Chain A
Amino acid sequence: MSIMDNGFSATRRLVLKGAGTVALAGLGVISLDLPAAFAAANDKYPEEAFKQKSEADAIKLLYGRTAELSDKVKMDAPEIAENGAVVPVSVSTTLTDVTSIAFLVSENPNALIASYKIPAGTIPSVANRIKMAKTSNVIVIVEAGGKLYSATKEVKVTVGGCGG
């Protein structure tokens, strides 16, 4: 009987160990050693990054580092958005070797809005329409040559577009 028990607990331990590893990988803990494994760098949908509430956590999960403000990142967004459900925002940059562009809204329930992969040969310029819950900073991150550059603009929202 006791032999059986041991057999069971050993199996159980192995299973738990495996689950723990998967959980850690999911949190991005393991990929800290491999910057190339970050969400923006591979083809997988960055599910966890999209669940983050703060823009800092989302950027960390997406890229694993922080961005510096750059005047080479040009964001076009309205000063005042009457309807927070549809806010047109576009970005362009004179930076070269751009690999991805991300949009974030700090006051939204989930900060990360979109992350675009820019393969070689694609112009680093994107326009889209985003939702904003309330007046907030809109942040654009441009990944170029392995570094992160950002631009920020406050957009005043008259009617929120995230429910409530």
Chain B
Amino acid sequence: MASTIRVRATSNGDTTEVQALIQHPMDSGFVKDAQGQIIPPHFIQELTFEYDGKAVFVADWGGGISKDPYVKFAFKGGKKGDDLKVSWVDNKGATDTATAKIQ
């Protein structure tokens, strides 16, 4: 299966800007389907970005984050060509991981 994570990390020398887009339904558990049945909660709870073995950004998410979530942040350091590791875990225990090269 193709990765659910699309991540772009760009270094300008001092800082690295990271944008990530993840495919996930992010069902909050408050929405009903066409038959009036509650769609059970299914959302990413933790999203972690690691550079050089250290977490540079950790997101704790609830069901209030939009479907196919997007997040943007930046951190000091990060060299072109280095790896940035991204991983998430959802409330059902599913996970995915991706590694992006800093550009």
Contacts and interface: CB of A to CB of B under 8 A. Distances in A.
B76 interface: yes
Contacts of A125: 73-74
A163 B28 CA distance: 9
A116 B74 contact: no
Contacts of A85: 66-67
Given A123-B76, A126-B72, A131 B59 contact: no
Interface string A23-67: 000000000000000000001011000100000000000000000
A127 interface: yes
Given A126-B72, A131-B64, A163-B32, A117 B58 contact: yes
Interface residues of B, number: 30
B57 A119 contact: yes
A123 B64 contact: no
Contacts of B61: 113-114
Contacts of B15: 123
Contacts of B28: 109-110, 131, 162-163
Contacts of A86: 66-67
B71 A128 contact: yes
Contacts of A126: 71-73
B56 interface: yes
A114 B75 contact: no
Interface in A108-156: 108-110, 112-119, 121-123, 125-131, 133
A45 to B, nearest CB: 5
Nearest to B74: A123
B64 A112 contact: yes
Contact of A128 (B63, B65, B74, B77): B65
27 contacts: A46-B60, A50-B60, A85-B66, A86-B67, A90-B72, A110-B28, A113-B61, A113-B64, A113-B65, A114-B59, A114-B60, A114-B62, A114-B64, A115-B59, A116-B58, A117-B55, A117-B58, A117-B60, A119-B56, A121-B75, A123-B15, A123-B76, A125-B73, A125-B74, A127-B70, A131-B28, A131-B64
Given A119-B57, A121-B56, A121-B76, 7 more contacts: A45-B60, A50-B63, A114-B62, A117-B58, A122-B75, A127-B70, A163-B32
Interface of B: 15, 28, 30-32, 45-46, 54-67, 69-77
